[in-house]
Structure 1
Amino acid sequence: VAVDSNPIDAIWQDRPQPPLAPVVVHSLQHAGVTEAEKLTQIRAEIAKLGADALVLSDSHAVAWTFNIRGADVAHTPLPLSYALVPKDGRPTIFIDHRKLSNLTRDHLEQSADVREPDAMAPTLMALAKSGGSIALDNATAADALSRLIAGAG
């Protein structure tokens, strides 16, 4: 049954603040493939799925796609973030702006719109209301993204 708010939020009184480790650009020398090339590959997979957009809910996929790294997760170079990649048009990355230096924000804005995480739900709702079909990376597109990540750095 759908609910308007997360019931855990109502009882978790001492919840820690979300991590705010700085996000850095992962150089092309180490990434091997540009963001534009990765987005082209992802869009090909979106087309195969017959979807209008793909939600990247896994921070690994977001970091890989946009060639960024962070330190929000212990022992893993990930910035907690999400993204929405449409089959056409600019993707949107949802990440806390406090993690981004001007250099990192400029890097991200070359390939995507940058918005706060709380903008994700309204963005998805608007896409759904317009009749768009949305694929999820941890469901229908997980295998396709895994192949992309494994094969292209």
Structure 2
Amino acid sequence: EQTWECENRLHGNHSPSQEIFRQRFRQLCYQETPGPREALRQLRALCCERLRSESHSKEQILEVLVLEQFLTILPKEFQSWVQGHHPKSGEKAVTVLEDLEKGLNEPGPQVPGLACGPAWEERREKAALGAAQEKPSFQLQ
């Protein structure tokens, strides 16, 4: 997924085998396992391989997981913007979003995506347009 690249940068890990474990972990299909116990066993095994907990501290693993989930819950246009800035932590991702909000020079909620209505939609469109014009070329995986 898109944040695996962030995880690799965070830990300096570029192992193709880790990418395979990540894909298997994310794409495991319950219907392809003999039952719930085996599905859970496979997820645990793949997770251990993916995170390689013996090589990373608990804090590093938590930071990667929280950053990954944070990026996942963002609206798509903000995901692209943040990914284009290659944050290495959740705090860096928040700073990128706050800087984007300051650049909009409009009053509104501090966290994009929490409001609704025509004014917010216009603001989101401006943000998306600005992101498309200013961000470095980046392709989500």
TM-score (norm 1): 0.26
More helix by share: 2
TM-score (norm 2): 0.28
Structure exhibiting the larger radius of gyration computed from Cα positions: 2
More strand by share: 1
